[in-house]
């Protein structure tokens, strides 16, 4: 009987809050409705699997938002690492890392190879950053404002700016001749 009640509670929660999850993704990532809905389905699968283990330390809605945030951060990480490795990520609807131009150039092949090597080194440096700092850099390269990044990471704008500045300093120091 308890399982039926849990399922009924989950179904009610799902129906009431599915659009909240979709809107979170659309707001944070400027994603298409289709991608936002796919990510939301992923969120509710995670919530369903852990429904019985919910400890009540937060409200269910806060828990849902936390799961959304984690799925979104995983989406961002998967998009950049998969595209770099030449894997077609299922959510790959944006150009990864807009700040790094990977389009073929009119340069000679040697210069083009050097440019590609520099881009790969830059990508490796970004990958080596601490988790939260890496996300800040990736979002910034995808043209998110500091305010948008802060809101999606539930952090202050000053903290995000500081993390981005430290990351740039680190990357510059590693790439100085």
The predicted-structure confidence for 94-145, as pLDDT tens digits, reads as follows: 334 444 444 545 556 777 677 777 777 787 788 888 888 888 888 887 777 8
List, for residues 40-68, the tens digit of each pLDDT value.
999 999 999 888 888 888 889 888 988 89
Task: Specify the domain boundaries for CATH 1.10.1740.10 within the chain.
Answer: 1-94
Q: Which CATH class is domain 97-177?
A: mainly alpha
Radius of gyration over every alpha carbon of the chain, rounded to an integer in angstroms: 19
pLDDT at residue 22, rounded to an integer: 93
Mean pLDDT of 18-27: 91
Q: Which pTM was predicted?
A: 0.47
- Indicate the CATH number for domain 1-94: 1.10.1740.10
| 171, 164 Cβ separation under 8 angstroms | no
Task: Specify the domain boundaries for CATH 1.10.10.10 within the chain.
Answer: 97-177
Rounded to 10°, the helix 157-174/146-153 angle is 110
């Amino acid at each position: 009987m308890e399982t039926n009640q849990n399922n009924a509670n989950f179904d009610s929660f799902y129906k009431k809050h599915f659009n909240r999850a979709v809107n979170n993704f659309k707001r944070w990532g400027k994603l298409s409705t289709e991608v936002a809905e796919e990510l939301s389905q992923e969120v509710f699968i995670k919530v369903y699997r852990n429904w019985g283990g919910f400890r009540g330390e937060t409200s269910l809605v806060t828990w849902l938002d936390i799961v959304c945030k984690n799925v979104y951060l995983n989406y961002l990480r998967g998009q950049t690492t998969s595209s770099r490795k030449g894997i077609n990520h299922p959510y790959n609807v944006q150009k990864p890392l807009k700040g790094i131009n990977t389009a073929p150039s009119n340069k000679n092949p040697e210069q083009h190879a050097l440019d590609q090597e520099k881009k790969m080194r830059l990508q490796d440096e970004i990958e080596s950053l601490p988790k939260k700092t890496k996300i800040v850099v990736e979002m910034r390269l995808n043209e998110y404002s500091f305010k948008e990044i802060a809101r999606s990471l539930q952090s202050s704008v000053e903290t995000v700016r500081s993390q981005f500045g430290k990351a740039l300093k680190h990357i510059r120091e590693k790439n100085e001749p």
